[in-house]
Amino acid sequence: MCGCGDRHAPGEPTPYDVGQAELTTGRRTLLKAGGGLAFSTAALAAGAGAADAAPLARTRKRVYVLVFDGCTPEEISGGQAPHLADLMFGGKRFAKAQSMPIMETIPNHVMMMTGVRPDRSGVPANSVFDRKLGAVRDLDRSSDLRADTIIERLNRRGLRTGTVLSKEYLYGVFGTRATARWEPFPVLPITGHAPDEFTINAAMAMVEDVDPHLMFVNLGDIDRFGHADVTGPLGVKALRRLALAKTDLYVQRFVDLLKSRGTWKHSMLVVLADHSMDWSTTNRVVSLAGPLDEDPVLRGRVQIADNGGADLLYWTGPSAQKEDAVRRMVRIARAETGVLSVFDRRHKSLRLGPQAGEVVAFCRSGWRFSDPDPVTSNPIPGNHGHPATRPIPFFINGGHPRLQHYAASSLVAQTIDVAPTVGRFFGLTGAPKGGYDGRARI
């Protein structure tokens, strides 16, 4: 699997189940919103703003972080999304922006809201081998995220925050952190996401009914249609173009709403993708399970968490043999056709933390991993997680006077830059314990 499907360990409740259970046990309060939508909230009902920090002045500033899941920079600049292109060229754009390893959805959304790398957040990939559970699972539990988020930092200053996340596992990992949350609905089977039309309607309803100071929105259609698009490897990407054109219109509706409410002039809009997308044909699939199992030391003692363009390898044998096992895994993976690079996970540049296992393998552009089964584990053409999917669109626009317009930066903006950028906009002093790994981009 690419790690993007609706997958949970056997017997484990889905994030959606957990949310429903919280509702029925009365731990959350539903805020009735326009159009029959409902947002769940606990902190608002209890009175937003804890006593551990002085509240910010009653600011009129608003921040909207819109994530176009799986969008490539060319799709915005290439004329397929005219409204987004207008916003990008009319704002401050970062032409060399990057997703961070592992170039998957959950870790990069977590990096956006924490501003720290996975060795500090505890969330290095979509899919990991959970040693306690003894199974591969998605990092979709609120307890998986161990770092402070900009959402919670703003909550503590008495500001309202909102999450409108189209994917069940994102709803799961951010849990009840925001003061108002939309639970993705309706969720499509297999993809585990709500269509963008519903997501943007929820975002607009939340602006009108809750008016959060910070809203974090994930739009999943472009990614989902990219994964499923069998015309992707042929370069046609028909479904994806259609999805992008629609989502482009939805975003314009969202911006029009902000302008009609008079909110735009106080706002900062941060638009980016969590990763881009790459396509592979059925004859360009790498499976490491077989070659690893042929090694006498590794046989039956390695677990693989498949993340589409990246495989995470976990040694489950005796710790005394771990160093030898790591060397063997690296050597065997490097010899496979379609593999781009293989690292000891402790390699300084990766900063993935122990949840990512012992060895990390990335595939080449135009390839994908399918583990443990070479045929059934990951049959979908569109994937990400590998360096080919690192370039992302990233731009800042909005009507607030401190923002730049028609500006281009050659700096390498990254997904971890979002939290410090939001913090600086609101004038938050200081940084989380240990400082940010990202940088403010305003």
Residues that bind Zn ion (CB under 5 A): 69-70, 105, 223, 274
CB of 105 to Zn ion, least distance (A): 3
CB of 168 to Zn ion, least distance (A): 13
Taking the CB of residue 368, how many other CB atoms lie within 10 A of it?
Answer: 30
CB of 275 to Zn ion, least distance (A): 6
Token couple for 337: 């056709």
CB of 124 to Zn ion, least distance (A): 15
How far, in Å, CA of 410 to CA of 251, rounded?
26
CB of 87 to Zn ion, least distance (A): 20
Report the residue number whose CB is nearest to Zn ion.
105
196-209 vs 238-261: helix crossing angle, rounded to 10: 10
Residues 6 or more apart in contact with residue 78 via CB below 8 angstroms: none
CB of 254 to Zn ion, least distance (A): 20
Using alpha carbons only, give the angle 396, 398, 404 rounded to the nearest 5 degrees.
60
Strand order in the sheet with 310-315: 302-306, 310-315, 359-363, 339-344
- Which of 408, 404, 369, 403 minimizes the C-alpha distance to 385? 369
For residues 370, 371, 374, 375, the Cα torsion angle rounded to the nearest 10 degrees is -70
Of 137 and 384, which has the nearer Cβ to Zn ion?
Answer: 384
Of 203 and 272, which has the nearer Cβ to Zn ion?
Answer: 272
Of 222 and 325, which has the nearer Cβ to Zn ion?
Answer: 222
Of 274 and 437, which has the nearer Cβ to Zn ion?
Answer: 274
Residues 6 or more apart in contact with residue 375 via CB below 8 angstroms: none
CB of 270 to Zn ion, least distance (A): 16
Of 28 and 167, which has the nearer Cβ to Zn ion?
Answer: 167
DSSP string covering 226-264, please? HHH-TTGGGT--HHHHHHHHHHHHHHHHHHHHHHHHT-G
Of 72 and 105, which has the nearer Cβ to Zn ion?
Answer: 105
Of 210 and 272, which has the nearer Cβ to Zn ion?
Answer: 272
Q: Could you tell me the CA-to-CA distances from 336 to 31, 251, 301, 302 in Å, in that order?
A: 53, 43, 19, 17
Residues 6 or more apart in contact with residue 109 via CB below 8 angstroms: 67, 165, 170, 173, 174, 218, 274
